[in-house]
Amino acid sequence: MTDLDEIDRKILRELVRDGRLSNLALSDRVGLSPSACLRRTASLEKAGVIAGYRAVLSPEKTGIGFAAYVTVGLNQHTKRAQEAFERAMRAAPQVRECHNITGAVEYLLRVEAADLAAYKHFHTEVLGALPQVNTLTTYVVMGSPKDERA
């Protein structure tokens, strides 16, 4: 694990807010010279603390009008069943996140689709067609007062 000091944490906070921030603006916000800030940022990248930079897309502008979290219970608790399910989720563009979790079910998915009809098709034709799937529960996102995913 990398030891992070307060300046590293400030750099990370600012980059999470705006990953396209110029080094000059970043250095000004965290109180470092541009060269020291660039060295710190490069060090954080090299250490893997900063794993990458992403664009945050507008769901409305990209045609996504429906989001849901779906819990998935498998009918077999084998490595083979999990691997097959995970392969199917990687191949499904509607699945934006797939998490293997503890509890009464094995997976939690974040699914995005154009609308309810598109989600129903995915639910029936993709998730419902997988032989490993035993139970599905859908939680429709009605609003997101806080969302810090990048």
- Tens of pLDDT along 20-51? 999 999 999 999 999 999 999 999 999 999 99
CATH T-level assignment (fold) for domain 6-46: Arc Repressor Mutant, subunit A (1.10.10)
> How many distinct helices (H) and strands (E) make up the chain?
5, 4
pLDDT at residue 150, as a whole number: 64
> Could you identify the residue written with the tokens 């599905």?
136
* Range 120-130 average pLDDT: 97
Q: Is residue 125's pLDDT more than 70? A: yes
In this prediction, residues 44-71 reach a mean pLDDT of: 94
Check whether 110 has a pLDDT greater than 90.
yes
Q: Which residues contact 31 (CB under 8 A, 6 or more apart)?
A: 7, 10
Domain ranges of the chain: 6-46, 66-140
Q: Does domain 66-140 have CATH number 3.30.70.920?
A: yes
- Tokens 């939680």 belong to 139
How far is CA 80 from each of CA 21, 90, 106, 120, 132, rounded to the nearest angstrom? 44, 15, 14, 27, 10
pTM, full prediction: 0.82
φ/ψ region of 30 (left if φ > 0, alpha if ψ in -120 to 50, else beta) reads alpha
Q: What distance lies between CA 56 and its chain's CA centroid?
A: 11
Residue 82: predicted pLDDT: 97
pLDDT-derived band at 65 (thresholds 50, 70, 90) equals very high
